[in-house]
């Protein structure tokens, strides 16, 4: 894992551990023993990995097929992100690698 990615994940984990004001927990998430957001933060999952889990977990209890369709392109986005981090690790400038998607 690239240092910048590791630092980003560490920051996300710290945020997930910060006290959060009371929030309404939708039933399509809170029905699980561990809510998907908690599982994702505890396991340092990437944004894309977390979205796959979110959409798959809630599909049956929220929007069904629509949620699965929303999640469908996300694994490909994770593959693209991994490929970009590999390019950065190989010496390419992060600015050059990531500006291609803007």
Instruction: Using pLDDT thresholds of 50, 70 and 90, give the confidence band for residue 1.
Output: low
Phi, psi torsion values for 35, nearest 5 degrees: -65, 145
Range in 16-25, 42-51, 58-67 with the lowest mean pLDDT: 16-25
Q: Which residues contact 44 (CB under 8 A, 6 or more apart)?
A: 9, 12, 13
Domain ranges of the chain: 3-15+26-99
Angstrom distance (rounded) from CA 52 to CA 70: 9
- The answer to whether residue 58 scores a pLDDT higher than 50 is yes
The mean pLDDT of the chain is 80
pLDDT of residue 102: 53
The predicted-structure confidence for 13-24, as pLDDT tens digits, reads as follows 665 565 554 456
Arithmetic mean of pLDDT, 77-98: 92
């Amino acid at each position: 894992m690239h240092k910048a990615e590791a630092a980003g994940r560490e920051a996300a984990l710290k945020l997930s551990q910060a006290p959060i004001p009371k929030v309404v927990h939708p039933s399509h998430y809170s029905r699980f023993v561990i809510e998907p957001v908690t599982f994702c933060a505890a396991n340092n999952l990437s944004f894309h990995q977390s979205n796959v889990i979110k959409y798959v977990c809630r599909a049956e209890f929220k929007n069904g097929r629509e949620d699965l369709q929303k999640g469908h392109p996300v694994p490909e986005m994770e593959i693209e992100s991994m490929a970009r981090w590999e390019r950065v690790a190989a010496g390419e400038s992060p600015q050059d690698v990531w500006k291609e998607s803007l």
